[in-house]
Amino acid sequence: MNLVPLPCRLLACLLPALLFSAPVLAGGLAPGYRNLPFAAPEPGSYELPVLGTAADGVVLDSDGRPLRLHALYDGRIVLLGFIYSTCDDVNGCPLATVVFQKLRNALKSEQEPAGRLRLLTLSFDPEHDTPEAMRRYGEGFRDGGVDWHFLTTRSEAELQPILEAYGQSVQKEYDAAGRSTGKYSHLLRVFLIDGQKRIRNVYTVSVLHPDLALADVKTLLQEVPAPVPGGGRAASPPLRAGDDKTGYASPAYETHALALDARRGRPADLFQRAQRPVLGLPKLPVPADDPLTPAKIALGRKLFYDRRLSLNQTFSCAMCHIPEQGFTSQEQATATGIEGRTVRRNAPTLYNVAYLTKLFHDGRESSLENQVWGPLLAANEMGNPSVGFVLDRIESLPDYRGLFEQAFGRGPGMETVGQALACYERVLVSGDSPFDRWRYGHESGALSEAARKGFELFTGKAGCAACHTVGDRHALFTDDALHNTGVGYRASMDKTPAARRVQVAPGVSFEVDAKTFAQVAGPVPGDLGRYEITQNPADRWKYRTPTLRNVALTAPYMHNGVFASLREVVEFYNRGGEPNENLDPLIRPLGLSAQEVDALVEFLSSLTGGDNQTLVSDAFAAPVGNGR
């Protein structure tokens, strides 16, 4: 961590705090216990410098589950404090806990900063501070609106690299006989970390105060992307749900999309990650004839991001299932294949696809091993003319030499290609959302009051849980069945408009009459849903119930991407769907008020997994296999 000098504006704000620290040096209580003798700086009236990158490391939560610090950062603003639970220096570890508690209490009525802030208390005494000890230590501090985690590590060996990375000096104290006293000599330090995992302030005993920390948190919340040379703004953080296209129709729109060479990531141990229980999810189902192995997962990952596996070597699986966009595509209502060929349905998310027994929107496949061949051979997706064509292509590529033999003991074939891709998709597991931490982790502060009200509606008045099921120990948020909501019926019954408004560039649109439009666009293909598979008239316009996990990341919605926002989806169901002769009997007008719609949307937004950025970062590290 490289520390840089504070800018003059920030120094001016902190100078009063430095001046009123004199009582600490004289042996009194630290400033954090008392009211500020001056007004805290106005949030946004100053800048916080970037002091370095916040390091990662493996920690244990209070249930003993291993987590990475970066997973806990999760795009939030974080206050990280190092303590040990038996510290008796009132101006030491207890001060950090008191300040965190005061900050939490101050934010009970402020939903915006409370929902974006996470408090982490990490012990540097793993021998005494076991997960159970940290759970007991934190029991009295879990009733606020701020997410607060009490952490430890397995051993001093795992702790030491974290302490060194953060410059946290800690030394055990020994008596005259050389026996440990159980006490530590250390300098109290609390780190403020922004949503891009950058350290923005370091508080010591002299300046650690809830009012000052709150002003800093609110200042970070007000930040906008910094200007970059040549105009425009800096690219959005790479580990985000997707590229925000709000305002795209405006002539002043500036893209924040990441260029390919700006996508930097770090490979993850996906095999080990898949072995760990995930809060809110059942045990990962793995078929007996396709067990997970590191070699198979790595090979499947390579295939998934390889553009050379399409007919013209330009298109990969990941170009419809974009990692930072929820492993779907937020850019298009329906997918687009090679050469811009139209696909009639929306690209579904691959998060937690391992748990599904029906695949594709119409449920026509039952195993991932078979499903992966559909896009590879579809003329409007990856365009390959045959299985043999794909296998010949793989065998011709020198960088695949020996990989199939290492993973399967034999070369590439229809079965082994399917199994490798399935193994990678199977480990795209995402749970430990704020909802999971509230319902299954029993963290009362993990979910906002509005989201809790939304869950009450979800399982009650709105009836959403009838299809998007929630269990006592885990929740997949899908019944894995097929239903007619009326969306498909409405699309089939829509008449061709006399003219269409076509946007050709940001802020530039034209009205195009139907005749001219037909000359450049193919006819809109029909879509009867499950009926196309079963030929049973009762199955017309039935589609698979999607999981709602990570739903805030996976717009647009429905099988045809007809709704751009969660609010539109909720309002559609509130109206009772679209009436038709096969409408599912579970679909009915809900009578929700505007406030209840807001609460449902808030709840749905709480279903975003807590460790998604690990998968996204791993994806960014994968080679894309450009054809030559």
Binding-site members for Cu cation are: 87, 93, 186
Q: Using CA atoms in the order 130, 134, 137, 138, what is the torsion angle rounded to 10 degrees?
A: -170
Concatenating the DSSP letter of every residue in 50-114 gives: --EEPP--EEE-TTS-EEEHHHHHTTSEEEEEEE-TT---TTSHHHHHHHHHHHHHHTTT-HHHH
The count of other CB atoms within 10 Å of the CB of residue 204 is 13
Q: How far apart are CA 467 and CA 71, in angstroms?
A: 30
> Would you give the distance in Å from CA 468 to the centre of its chain?
20
Q: Is 526 exposed, middle or buried (0-12, 13-18, 19+ CB in 10 A)?
A: exposed
The whole-angstrom separation of Cα 301 and Cα 303 is 5
Of 382, 366, 321, residue with least CA distance to 374: 382
Burial zone of 193 (CB within 10 Å; 0-12 exposed, 13-18 middle, 19+ buried): buried
Beta strands in 490-539 (DSSP E): 499-505, 508-513
Nearest CA to 453 among 607, 597, 589? 597
ω into 23 cis (within 30 of 0): no
Q: What is the DSSP string of 311-362?
A: TTS---GGGTSBGGGTTB-SS-SS-B-GGG-B-SS-----TTGGG-SSBSTT
Binding residues: 87, 93, 186
Cα 356 from Cα 210, distance rounded (Å): 46
Q: Which residues contact 534 (CB under 8 A, 6 or more apart)?
A: none
The 3-state DSSP class for residue 192 equals: strand
Using DSSP, state whether 484 is helix, strand or coil: coil
d(CA 36, CA 212): 9
| Distance, CA of 534 to CA of 540 (rounded, Å) | 9
